[in-house]
């Protein structure tokens, strides 16, 4: 494996070309066993494609290299802490349109970029992003996790105003 697939911890190399299910799980330190099969998880620095939205509008997409992924060594699962992902999105530039919801679409396989195209920007027509999509991400579910950047506001439901009733005349 090349530098793009190095692991943070000692262990078997992660094959990022395998499509995986992404599980969002909040944790401190290490996430524990795989939530799908109970197998051991291994942290690995990878390059991810992130997407954000605000309401129904897709706002922007980002490429980030980070050690946020914990890959199962037994089944095709990666566990990502949404708090860590939120931290990654906190450091945006002013011209970025970071929406208030996000998702990780998949892992970018940098080794799949032909040598003669590595100088070109990723995502151009001549150099598409070699994305290994997460299997549980669809247009309905992506993006879908709230960021901490903006607090969600909740509207209180109130009863409709009551109509004024005419007072009845009292009989004498």
Host H or E run for residue 46: strand 41-54
Mean pLDDT confidence for 119-141 = 84
Structural tokens at position 18: 């395998």
C-beta separation of 37 from 17 below 8 A? no
Mean pLDDT confidence for 136-158 = 47
Q: Give the start-to-end residue ranges of the domains of the chain.
A: 3-141
- 140 pLDDT more than 90: no
| pTM score over 0.75 | no
C-beta separation of 108 from 129 below 8 A? yes
Query: How much is the pLDDT for 46?
Result: 95
Burial environment of residue 124 by CB neighbours within 10 A (0 to 12, 13 to 18, 19 or more): exposed
Query: How much is the pLDDT for 73?
Result: 95
CA 64, 47, 27, 37 dihedral sign is positive
**Residues 6 or more apart whose Cβ sits within 8 Å of residue 113:** 122, 127, 130
In the predicted model, what is the mean pLDDT of the chain? 78
């Amino acid at each position: 494996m090349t530098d793009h697939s190095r692991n943070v911890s000692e262990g078997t190399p992660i094959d990022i070309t395998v499509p995986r299910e992404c599980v969002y799980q909040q944790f401190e330190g290490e996430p524990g066993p795989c939530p799908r099969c109970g197998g051991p998880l291994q942290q690995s620095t990878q390059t991810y494609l992130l997407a954000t939205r605000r309401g129904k509008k897709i706002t922007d997409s980002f490429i980030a290299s980070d050690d946020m992924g914990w890959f199962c060594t037994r089944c095709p699962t990666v566990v990502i802490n949404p708090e860590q992902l939120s931290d990654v999105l906190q450091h945006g530039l002013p011209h970025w349109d970071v929406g208030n919801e996000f998702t990780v679409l998949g892992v970018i396989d940098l080794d799949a970029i032909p040598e003669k195209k590595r100088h070109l920007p990723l995502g151009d027509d001549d150099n598409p992003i070699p994305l290994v999509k997460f299997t549980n991400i669809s247009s309905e579910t992506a993006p879908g996790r709230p960021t901490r950047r903006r607090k969600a506001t909740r509207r209180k439901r109130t009863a409709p105003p009551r109509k004024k009733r005419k007072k009845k005349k009292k009989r004498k």
